[in-house]
Chain A
Amino acid sequence: MTRTTHPGVFVLGSGITAFGERWDQSLRDLMREAIATAIADSHVEPTQIQAIFVANMAAGMFENQVHLGPLASSMVAELAATAGNSHKTSHFPPAMRIEGACASGSLALVAAQQALQAKVYDTVLVVGVEKMTDVAGELATAYLSAAADRQLELGSTFPGLYAMLAQQHMAQYGTTREQLSSVSVKNHNHALDNPHAQFHKKFTLEQVSSSALVADPLRLLDCSPISDGAAAVVFSTRSTDTAKLKILGYGVGCDTLDLAGRASLTSLGATQRARVQAEQHAGRSINQAQWVEVHDCFTIAELMALEDLGLCAPGDAGQATLEGKTSDGAAVVVNRSGGLKASGHPVGATGVKQVAFLAQRFTQPGALAVTHNVGGSGATAVVHLLEGIVSAPSSKKQPQQASKERS
């Protein structure tokens, strides 16, 4: 992919629900909360939302509910009616659902950006949602396994697939149990001040290393949880004084569904391909990033992500993490939200939440942040490069108003 001239895409607003076992909240409750929060935060009117991109992996299995596009559209219509002090509105933005397993969220962000950059729309909403805890954990595991190759990986689980990658990484690079545990410890520490995080609990290296084995060598505290949650962002090609981030570029990489078809078992080719595309698209290097939100569905996944993104040499990410070089306060902070491990992983929401979290917390004008979202065991990977922009929280200018003023 070569870099092309295209309209800039700005994150005007964001909303994240609390992640966790939200037994008192339905799929639609979670969607509604995230959508309403993001639109309110963006200071755009609901009627200015021209299209909606819904990210979801498995509501059809978890909740027997598909066709989420119109559901989201109806929610924006409700907000438009309320804003207009009316019971009815005709503002039902066109909406579509995007699915890419755990990368659904980032793929929906990409689809939204492409629509904006093609100048089909100028302001859109992206919402990611997953309601996973209405079924037993065993059933949830089975549903998630649908993202693996059901013909060639029979009997596999996601912990099992990542366990094989961990085993290979440990054998090739000498990655240690303690280094894997340090990822979990760090991310749980980072989640302590994230109000949306599923867990607000510290763990020690010893606690992680002695937790129950799930699939050798991965243990319970190496694994991200099953979560309910939703996140939403408002994107626009028209910046406002309340804009939080500018999206500089993105990349989408793919690989075989099954591990057996991969060129490597110690790296994810999809991430490497997505990284190259994203850097070319943005004209910036990921090495300049200060905050990086990566897909730590398992501790080994974070280490591989740092290496595949070029932030660490192959085999070095474990020691860097153990030495605190990716912790809050370091030059490169990895998973400041707590990542999937501690913040939670409602799969369809995760990619959207990564960007929404940065919109809320990454307040460094001109600085670079990166998100990395993976589907399956690495069959899909999406990388975004984002830039912090000057924000004036007191301003409530509308996108169109701001655009007119600037012109």
Chain B
Amino acid sequence: MNVITPVQYWRANKEWAPWLGKRGRVVASTLIRVAEGPFSAWAPYSLVLVEFAHGERREFMGVGHDVCEPGEKVECVLRRLDTTDAREVIPYGLKVQKYQKQSEIPATPENPASSEIPESPASSASPASSESSESTDAAASTDHLRTR
């Protein structure tokens, strides 16, 4: 079962650029130990609800096996979603990874002490990851539909 079909992928990847490098704070999280289909390869992985500046909220998978807790700071990165080794589309998508600079995280109702910062440009997205298996070379472009 594919995470995403090629045409869905083509539509979706055009929406990723504004998110890359955005930093926010985890509002709710869980560690998914039993996952569905192709996501099973990543389990256990965090599923987090993140609040960004201006109250914008969205859910993401966490990178690798990182355990993200409420209150922690994260930033959006592009990471591989599937581990398929067939000669098919390699699905990438948005995930979040932990972000260390506490002072640069926008304030949220749950964390009013934090100061607000401008949103980071997409070019600041860090490709660094603890996941050696998750390719990061696609972060430089927003059109990542490719085959091998």
Partner-B contacts on A (CB < 8 A):
138-139, 141-142, 145, 151-157, 159-161, 163-165, 167-168, 171, 212-218, 258-261, 265
Contact = CB atoms under 8 A, between A and B. Distances in A.
Interface in B39-82: 39-40, 42, 45, 47, 49, 57-61, 70, 81
A260 B58 contact: yes
B81 A215 contact: no
Contact of A164 (B1, B28, B42): B28
A159 B39 CA distance: 14
B34 interface: yes
9 shortest A-B CB distances, which residue pairs? A163-B30, A155-B61, A142-B36, A260-B57, A164-B28, A141-B36, A142-B37, A160-B32, A216-B31
Given A142-B37, A154-B93, A260-B58, A265 B27 contact: yes
A260 B96 CA distance: 15
B29 interface: yes
6 contacts: A142-B1, A155-B81, A164-B30, A214-B34, A215-B34, A260-B59
Please tell me the size bucket of the interface on B.
20 to 34
Contact of B39 (A155, A171, A212): A155
Contacts of A161: 47
A152 B29 contact: no
B113 interface: no
A215 B28 contact: no
Contact of B47 (A152, A160, A212): A160
B49 A141 contact: no
Given A164-B49, A260-B49, A260-B58, A155 B30 contact: no
B33 interface: yes
A180 to B, nearest CB: 14
A265 B33 CA distance: 21
A154 B61 contact: yes
